[in-house]
Amino acid sequence: MHKAHSILATVVLLAGVIGGCARTGRTPRPTPAERSTQQAVELAARAEQAMRREQWSESVALNREALAANPALGGAWTNLGVGLMNLHENLEAAQCFQRAAELLPTDPKPFESLALLHMNMGWHEHALQLYDMSLERSPYWLPSIRGSVLAAKNLNRSTDDGLDRIKRGLLVEKDPKWRRLFETEQVRVSQDLAESRRREGRAN
């Protein structure tokens, strides 16, 4: 299952703020915007729990309610996209990931999710570009390193940027299966690049 964009931490933070107000004796009346935001966060947290149970339809419905209450909740857009992707509603899922990327300009997950959607459809070229966009936001974001290496392998692509991604992956990857893939790809890409440079040298 694709990992959910965690909203539960936001719920805990809101609870702490509310509790802090109670301890100081203050009982400020929340504004309509604050009530709407709190409702949205609570609905999104319930949606995340449904995602963890792989109850995709319930998760989608709850995220839609959350976004109706507060459409600026970027994590809910990501999780709505994940739910829709698992229900094979790919076009709307892609739109959700794009919206999440706009609202969360430093988060690598929206572009990672959009790249995975393209990978699932066999569009490896587009997926590789999107994984690169994710890694521009967070160069050591492991899911995007994995995806980019796999996409380049499927394309039989050998570039210096790709070799750099593999090396970064080897620095942070713990899973033996993925490490073997990275090591195999490091050999393939290094040999391809060396051969390409030899050919260029002979041509010059």
Do 37 and 126 belong to one domain? Answer: no
CA 131, 135, 139, 143 dihedral sign is: negative
> In which band, very low, low, confident or very high, does the pLDDT at 4 lie, cut at 50, 70 and 90?
low
What is the rounded CA–CA span in Å between residue 183 and residue 167? 9
- Mean pLDDT score of the chain, rounded to an integer? 89
Residue with tokens 């992956």: 169
The values of phi and psi at residue 73, to 5°, are: -85, 95
pLDDT at residue 37, rounded to an integer:
85
Q: What is the pLDDT of residues 48-96, one digit of tens each?
A: 999 999 999 999 999 999 999 999 999 999 999 999 999 999 999 999 9
Q: What percent of the chain has pLDDT over 90?
A: 77
pLDDT at residue 3, rounded to an integer:
56
Do 196 and 169 belong to one domain? Answer: yes
Q: Extract the tokens encoding 48.
A: 């995340």
Q: What is the DSSP letter of 126?
A: H
| Structural domain containing residue 41 | 1-103
Of the residues 75, 103, 131, which one is the last residue of a structural domain?
103
Please give the model's pTM, rounded to 2 decimal places. Answer: 0.82
Q: What is the pLDDT of residues 95-111, one digit of tens each?
A: 999 999 999 999 999 99
CB 80 within 8 A of CB 96: yes
Q: What is the pLDDT of residues 133-185, one digit of tens each?
A: 999 999 999 999 999 999 999 999 999 999 999 999 999 999 999 999 999 99
Q: Extract the tokens encoding 150.
A: 């796999």
pLDDT at residue 2, rounded to an integer:
58
Do 77 and 123 belong to one domain? Answer: no
Q: How many structural domains are present in the chain?
A: 2
Which CATH number is 176's domain given? 1.25.40.10
pLDDT at residue 201, rounded to an integer:
81
Of the residues 87, 103, 119, which one is the last residue of a structural domain?
103
Do 143 and 169 belong to one domain? Answer: yes
